[in-house]
Amino acid sequence: MDVLVCGAGVAGAALAYWLRHHGFTPTVVEHAPGLRAGGYATGLRGEALDVLDRMALLDQVRALDLRLGGAAMADENALPVAIRPTDVEILRDDLAGLLYQATRREVEYVFDDSVATLEQADADVRVTFDRGRPRRFDLVAGADGLLSRTRSLAFGPQERFVRHLGLYTAVFGLPSRLGAEAGGQVHRVPGKAAGVLATRDGARARAVLHFASGPLAYDRDDAGQHKRIVAERFAGEGRLVRRLLEEMWEAEDLFFEANAQVEMDRWFSGRVVLVGDAGYCAAPASGRDASRALIGAYILAGELAAGGGHAEAFAAYEREMRGFVAEHQQMGREGADQFFLGPPPEKELGRTTVARPHLVRLRNYASGFAGERPSPGRAAR
């Protein structure tokens, strides 16, 4: 089968990996002109690490574990949890970059383009693009995040599925000098929090700013508008915030997004299926978005490879993931609530997470995994 994957983030690249592994021909289309930089740290635990191990990427991921350097980025504002020795904390863009490098020689990547229309037929899906020529695919997978265009085209407007949690987050990189000097510092007032998350040597640092708000209207691609929103919300908030806002105006990797959840009765419609945040975002406050993306991509590709047709595969994928997603969405709601309630006094800025038992048990859809991957195919362009 030829499968169009919309989105080159963690979910999209991981799905492309496993589709190619099982003998499918994935094409990844990405709205941005290249891989998206920036974003927050995310925790990888349990089955997510198993997926990476089966991709022969676990050692590389562990090498980027922020906690190896004594990182203040890792769970500094978490509710008290027991961190297992195998847990990993990694920047989201670092993980996406590893997945891209693992697939770029075997998978066609089309950057700076987006799906314009989807027309489903009995045997395939006719897809038109903003820039490229129309093409036909056997299946389409939406892995294009909270504001998924694929979801809007196949299921309906965002307002039907996106539930805001009353909180926005902005993240951007900082120079090492500021990380070394201000790492761990926090500014907190009712409805707002800002701070610097950094490794102890300051070599890697990012500013994180949260503010409470109802849904805002903004252009997802207009970084200048995002910066103005953040600057207006944090105007007059003290010395640390002034320094962060000064750096923000120069930042080229600003990540700005609502803490929101996607709630859907079904993640597939005909030959179109959703994976990752596009179908079941649990909000950054859950701290587990990348884990869901990795596990969902693995299961979806595996169920398609198991045979029985795409409808049966999509239904099996959803059954396997529903409990896991419900668990993480509860964590996301609790994490957002914690922002308004305030953290335990001994904790500082970061993300709120609650340890719970994972509900997914990974099946072995094929033996060998990375050691038996197909030979390289089409290259990125």
DSSP string, 50-90: HHHHHTT-HHHHHHT-GGGGT-TTSSTTPPS----TT-EEE
Which single residue is written with the structure tokens 């048990």?
361
Which domains, ranges and CATH numbers included, belong to the chain?
Answer: 2-161+260-340+353-372 (3.50.50.60), 165-259 (3.30.9.30)
pLDDT (tens digit, 9 = 90+) per residue, 329-376?
A: 888 888 787 777 655 444 444 443 444 444 567 888 866 565 444 433
Estimate to the nearest angstrom the gap between the alpha carbon of 119 and the chain centroid: 27
Contacts of 312 (CB under 8 A, 6+ apart): 303
- Residue 201: per-residue pLDDT: 67
Report whether 282 contacts 276 (CB < 8 A). no
Lowest mean pLDDT among 57-61, 137-141, 271-275: 57-61
* 90 pLDDT tier (thresholds 50, 70, 90): confident
Lowest mean pLDDT among 91-95, 312-316, 330-334: 330-334
Q: How far apart are the first and last CA of the chain?
A: 21
Q: How many CB atoms lie within 10 A of CB 249?
A: 12
Report whether 199 contacts 183 (CB < 8 A). yes
Q: What's the rounded Cα separation, in Å, for the pair 143 and 281?
A: 11
Report whether 127 contacts 140 (CB < 8 A). yes
Which among 17, 91, 112 is positioned nearest to 57, based on CA atoms?
Answer: 17
Over residues 195-205, the mean pLDDT reads 76
Over residues 182-202, the mean pLDDT reads 81
- Residue 352: per-residue pLDDT: 38
pLDDT (tens digit, 9 = 90+) per residue, 107-158?
A: 999 999 999 999 999 999 999 999 999 999 999 999 999 999 999 999 999 9
Which among 263, 258, 324, 264 is positioned nearest to 294, based on CA atoms?
Answer: 324
The secondary structure element, H or E, covering residue 196 is: strand 192-198
Q: What's the rounded Cα separation, in Å, for the pair 357 and 44?
A: 14
Backbone torsions φ then ψ of 186, nearest 5 degrees:
-135, 140
